[in-house]
């Protein structure tokens, strides 16, 4: 039987609007219960997040790719990629 883990994702700069989430909490983010080893892109797909290439994802403050496998209690942040100087 698969082991389940809990992860938390916080969306910044309005990125939560690109999901099908309802009742998003800007302070707490949103918790997901997923199978151990689930990739970030799988979770994003489940919540309707499509424009992944325009965003940066961070796991415990380190930049990650959507192919990253998730572990229990991971804290993920999603920010819009911006440029300029």
DSSP structure string for 30-78? EEEEEETT-BHHHHHHHTT---GGGEEEEETTEEE-TTPBP-TT-EEEE
| pLDDT the model gives residue 84 | 61
Tell whether 85 is covered by a domain: no
8-state DSSP, 84: -
The count of structural domains within the chain is: 1
Tell whether 11 is covered by a domain: yes
pLDDT tens digits, one per residue of 9-55? 999 988 888 899 888 899 999 999 999 999 999 999 999 987 777 88
- Domain containing residue 66: 4-80
**The whole model's pTM is what?**
0.87
| pLDDT the model gives residue 40 | 96
Nearest to 52 by CA among 62, 60, 42: 42
Angle at 49 between CA 24 and CA 34, to 5 degrees: 75
End-to-end CA distance of the chain: 51
CATH number at residue 14: 3.10.20.30
| pLDDT the model gives residue 5 | 97
């Amino acid at each position: 039987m698969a082991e389940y883990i809990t992860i938390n994702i916080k969306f910044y700069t309005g990125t939560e609007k690109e999901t099908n989430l309802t009742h998003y909490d800007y302070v707490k983010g949103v918790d997901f219960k997923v199978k151990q080893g689930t990739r970030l892109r799988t979770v994003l797909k489940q919540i309707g997040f499509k424009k992944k290439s325009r965003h940066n994802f961070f796991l415990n403050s380190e930049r990650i790719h959507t192919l990253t496998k998730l572990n229990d209690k991971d804290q993920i942040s999603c920010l819009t990629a911006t440029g300029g100087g």
